[in-house]
Structure 1
Amino acid sequence: MAHTHIKEIHYTICPVGNASYLAANRGKLTESLKKLEVTPVLLQSLPQPFWKAHFDYQDPLLFREGGNIPPIWAKSNGADVVLIGLALLKQKQYILVRADSPIDSVEQLRGYRIGIPVHPAALIDFHKATAEHGFALALAARGVSLKEANFVPIHADGDFVSVPRWARSQSEPEEVQALNNGEVDAIYVKSSKAQKLLDTGKYRVLFDIAENPSQLSPINNEYPNALTVSRYLAEEFPEVVIAYVKELLLAAEWAKTNREEALTLLAEQTFGTVGQAVSSHYRDFYRTLAPNLSEESLQALEGQKRFLFDQGYLKKDFDLAKWADDRFLKAAQAEIDSEQKEREA
């Protein structure tokens, strides 16, 4: 079916491991949407005023996969965005101290300074929220309340929009500088960035939040990853959304049997080496990229939403079950299953 109303869609992908990056960088999104006479355009290849849609969703042609805090915040603010998938990519999340620190346990943090990055210029300060939630989880796991924590704000420049991702990846985060300078005693880090720091030998892991999933859910901005789409596309061009989701499911399946190639792409996406990508995630993480709307995924997202609301990041609460729309996952999977049966016949 040729489209007379849209010739392109816009997509944006956070620098975290996900199926969108695999599908886009292997050319599969372009191939699939070309059949519908639609061209996928990377949001950040458009003029800069378009870029903030990565956070506020003010783009009727947008697909986004990545951190969950911006879409939750945007939904709370009334953005017309639809949740169509989640992915639980288990990564290591650390509370780090300096190698020469006298701190040996999370309980000891009661008497020390906890560094929290703060970005006043950001539309939604997901870094601050992520660090706060990370420490809240770690402290709770050891019976320490947030009221006992001495959070020290570390003011940082940038709005996450105007500075390219590659430029941010090359600079040392302000919270790391503060830890190095002795201004704070502990910080929260995750993913490849955490392994890069550990590789220097200057830091020590005080606590790994994701190590005991039976004790606490390792919720952060990337757990779960959120796949979202503008309501305009969802309602007016569902076949485009189905085609898009289908390629993500196929990319996730491809990763399971193409480990080295998948890890190379995921390392590239997270600005690390393959070794750092592997070390900063749990075993076989590359096999769990498929978006879903499982009960476990939705519960994790509900935990994130509840934290953001309780901490004042959201203007109003909303029903997560009503936000999630599984039509596209089901339709995409049905097409994949049907094609598989045809090949086997």
Structure 2
Amino acid sequence: MTNPLQALWYTRCGVPTGFGLAKQAGFIDEAFARQGTRLQSIKESDDPRVRESHFDHSLQNSVRYGGNGPAVWARASGSPTRLIGVSTNGDHPLLLASEESGIKSIRDLKGRRFGLPRWFNQSIDFAGASALRTLESALRLEGLEVGDVEIVDYPVASNITSYAVSRIEGTETFKPRELPDRPKLVPDLLRGKIDAMASLGRSGLNLVREFSLTQVFDLADHPDPLARANNNSPLTLAVDQHLLDRHYDSVVTLVQQILKAERWAREHRQEARTLIAREVHASEYWIWNHYETAQGGLGIDTHLEPLALAALQDYADFLLRWKFVPARVDVNEWLDPRPLADARQALAATAS
């Protein structure tokens, strides 16, 4: 038994993960209550320095499950973190255009105006990076480069971690942040100020339906599985080195609860769909349409499959090439497979 853990800091993104399900189902809270560990939410803290750990992973005894861009940036910036799991839910971005633009194909993007968010006050501009990745991957299928389109920057002064989140009453999920200066790409696309933009799949599909937009490209359709990698695929589960070294059993307990929730989701698909919809602020229809129909499940299973790790490396190298991160991250050196293996063994023992 490793040292008793007094408090575990946690943070997660508003995306489908076994961590989110395990929190909503009470698995994590119950397991850590039995060992006398307090759970403390990074995103709900009143201290902006604590909330910044959602990006820089600076807090000792903390875990983060979410988009890989901030996790890669933290590692590249010297934070002593370890990657202990990934998940691939298939949430790939789309390239969208207005009907009035006449853009029907990737080749039609040449010389046109592409709106790109620039979150210049954040540790990493993960949204801008994801949009740029989608654009570059699409253009290269037609022998084009980013320089062949006109980039229209949308500077955003807000920093997400400047604003604490609060929970939806009676739930384990968070209300959306109300930021004062979100980039107005959709209104400008409809007004003809830009010709195309990127949007996350579930949001983008809704925009196509609501505003009769043209879906020019879906990153999920890229023939190269490595090129499909973006901020939300694969998602990363990371812990700080201190937590791993001093409280290894607690890390295994955490991962075991995540795996337990993922197993529960496979056995209770409708209930899981409802909880995931609450987690990502979407209707159950879009969870079914975007995740389940594409891959026969929610795609939340935590694993360390070689292809997903190779895709993560490809995206980490993209972030370095475009200077979103300060140094190269070697995914194999970052990885510690022990907690996942031990958690799988522990969960199997409880089922036998």
TM-score (normalised: structure 1):
0.93
1:236 and 1:286 map into 2 onto residues whose CA distance is: 36
Aligned to 1:195: 205
Equivalent AA in structure 1 for residue 201 of structure 2? S
Note the alpha carbon deviations across 1:86-115, whole angstroms, 9 max, x for none. 011112421001133211111011120111
Distance 1:337 1:7, change over 3 A: same
Structure 2 alignment gaps of length 5 or more = 166-174
Q: In the superposition, relative to structure 1, how do residues 328 and 216 fare at CA in structure 2: closer, same or farther (>3 Å)?
A: closer
Q: Distance in 2 between matches of 1:131 and 1:37?
A: 43
The yes-or-no answer on 1:333 pairing with 2:333 is: no
Equivalent residue in structure 2 for 1:306, among 303, 317, 342 = 317
Q: Give secondary structure in 1 for the equivalent of 2:254.
A: helix
Separation in 1, partners of 2:8, 2:225? 41
Asked if the contact 2:22–2:28 (Cα under 8 Å) also holds between the matched residues in 1, the reply is yes
Matched residue type, 1:180: L
Of stretches 100-109 and 127-136 in structure 1, the one that deviates more from structure 2 is: 100-109
Q: CA deviation at 1:48?
A: 3.2
**Matched residues in 2 for 1:3 and 1:321: separation?**
27
Any idea what SS the aligned residue of 1:192 has? helix
1:93 is matched with 93
Per-residue CA distance 1:50-79 (angstroms, 9 max, x = gap) = 111000111002111000000101101000
Q: 1:171 to 1:279 in 2, by over 3 A?
A: farther
Q: Which amino acid aligns with 2:229?
A: I
Q: Judging changes above 3 Å, is the alpha-carbon distance between structure 1 residues 239 and 335 closer, same or farther for their aligned structure 2 residues?
A: same
Identify the residue that residue 33 of structure 2 maps to in structure 1: 34
SS of equivalent to 2:162: coil
1:20-59 equivalences in 2 (<5 Å): 20-49=19-48, 50-59=50-59
How many angstroms does 1:290 deviate by?
A: 1.7
**Closer, same or farther in 2 for the Cα pair 1:205/1:216, shift >3 Å?**
farther
CA distance, structure 2, for counterparts of residue 187 and residue 117 of structure 1 = 9
Rounded to whole Å, the distance in 2 between the matches of 1:105 and 1:123 is 34
Where does residue 280 of structure 2 map in the other structure? 270
SS at match of 1:90: coil
Partner in structure 1 of residue 177 of structure 2: 167
How far apart, in 2, do the equivalents of 1:239 and 1:291 lie? 18
Q: Is the 8 A contact 1:2 1:37 kept in 2?
A: no
Describe the shift of the 1:171–1:193 C-alpha distance in structure 2 as closer, same or farther (beyond 3 A): farther
Matches within 5 A, 1:1-345: 4=4, 6-49=5-48, 50-163=50-163, 164=165, 166-168=176-178, 173-213=183-223, 217-281=227-291, 282-284=293-295, 286-341=297-352
Task: Classify 1:285/1:58 alpha carbon distance in 2 versus 1 (closer, same or farther; 3 Å).
Answer: farther
Give unpaired runs (5+ residues) of structure 1: none
Larger deviation, residues 33-42 vs 48-57: 33-42
SS at match of 1:206: strand
Verify the 8 A CA contact 2:118 2:153 in the aligned structure 1: yes
For 2:301, what is the secondary structure of its paired residue? coil
Aligned partners of 2:107 and 2:2: how far apart in 1?
A: 61
SS at match of 2:161: coil
Judged with a 3 Å threshold, the aligned counterparts in structure 2 of structure 1 residues 52 and 216 are, in CA distance, closer, same or farther, namely closer
Q: Which moved more, 1:231-240 or 1:275-284?
A: 275-284
In structure 2, the residue corresponding to 1:283 is in which secondary structure? helix
Kept in 2, the 8 Å contact 1:19–1:249? The answer is yes
1:288 is aligned with what amino acid?
Answer: G
Please give the alpha-carbon distance, in whole angstroms, between the structure 2 residues aligned to 1:285 and 1:279.
10
- Report what 2:170 is aligned to: none
The range that moved more, 164-173 or 122-131, is 164-173
Residue type of the partner of 2:149? A
Please list the CA deviations of residues 173-217 of structure 1 after superposition, one character each: whole Å capped at 9, or x if unmatched. Answer: 422232123221000011332133123133121111102445764
CA distance in 2, matches of 1:21, 1:52: 20
Q: Is the 8 A contact 2:92 2:233 kept in 1?
A: no
TM superposition outliers: structure 1 runs of 4+ over 3 Å: 1-4, 168-173, 212-217, 284-287
Moved more, 67-76 or 48-57: 48-57
What's the secondary structure of 1:124's corresponding residue? Answer: coil
SS in 1 for 2:8: strand
Instruction: Count how many residue pairs are aligned between Structure 1 and Structure 2.
Output: 340
CA RMSD of aligned residues (A): 2.0
- 1:127-146: CA deviations, max 9, x gaps? 11111001111111222122
TM-score normalised by L of structure 2: 0.91
Identity of aligned residues (%): 25
CA offset at residue 234 of structure 1?
Answer: 0.6
The SS at the match of 2:91 is coil
Task: Tell me which moved more, 87-96 or 163-172.
Answer: 163-172
Distance in 1, Cα, partners of 2:329 & 2:214: 39
